[in-house]
Structure 1
């Protein structure tokens, strides 16, 4: 069964890159451009993993992450932060990998495979 990755980022170029990258590596994708849209997509799509930008309009990554963890059906979905924002946001648990933009393809794929088993 193909795993689904929800990409949440407000940069269309980054979304296009990640979508193509994941699809080329045999993952299905869904896309959201802010945290609010991301929560709605997560509820509808039930992703196996989420990539999350932290600095976005409307509802940023921190609020998305908090909402995801409060949802009983989504609270265990693994998250990988891909962001240009500095140090690890304090709201993230230690098990959430934080990758800095521009992201290394090899490192990203390694993290995805590790989290999805």
Structure 2
């Protein structure tokens, strides 16, 4: 059974790109286009990993991460930040890998593989 990855990003083109890339590499995917939707999906889908954009119109990636870490059943889900944003807030500096946009495909795939091995 393929590992499932939740993509949380408000840009449909980025989501489509990441879904195609991950599916081509034998991962299952699901997507959310806001932090609120992302929290619902992570609770429902129980992904093996979350790819998280930091800059979104609602509460942003930081609030998604902070809220996810408060919930017992999903708090240990690995996260990889995929964002064009510069410095990360303190909540996201503790061992959370960051892939900058535009995405380096080989770096993303190797980081994903390491986090859900």
TM-score (norm 2): 0.97
Measure the CA separation in 1 of the matches of 2:13 and 2:116.
25
- The alpha-carbon deviation at position 90 of structure 1 amounts to 1.7
Q: Please give the secondary structure, in 1, of the residue aligned with 2:6.
A: strand
Contact 1:4 1:49 in 2 (8 A): yes
- The alpha-carbon deviation at position 88 of structure 1 amounts to 2.2
Instruction: Number of aligned residue pairs: give it.
Output: 117
**Runs of 5+ unmatched residues, structure 2:** none
Q: Give the aligned partner of residue 33 of structure 2.
A: 33
Q: Give the aligned partner of residue 56 of structure 1.
A: 56
Moved over 6 A (4+): none
Confirm whether residue 116 of structure 1 aligns to residue 95 of structure 2: no
TM-score (norm 1): 0.97
Deviations 1:74-99 (A, max 9, x none): 11100000011111222114211011
Measure the CA separation in 2 of the matches of 1:12 and 1:65.
20
Deviations 1:39-98 (A, max 9, x none): 000000000000000010122100000011001011110000001111122211421101
Contact 1:88 1:98 in 2 (8 A): no
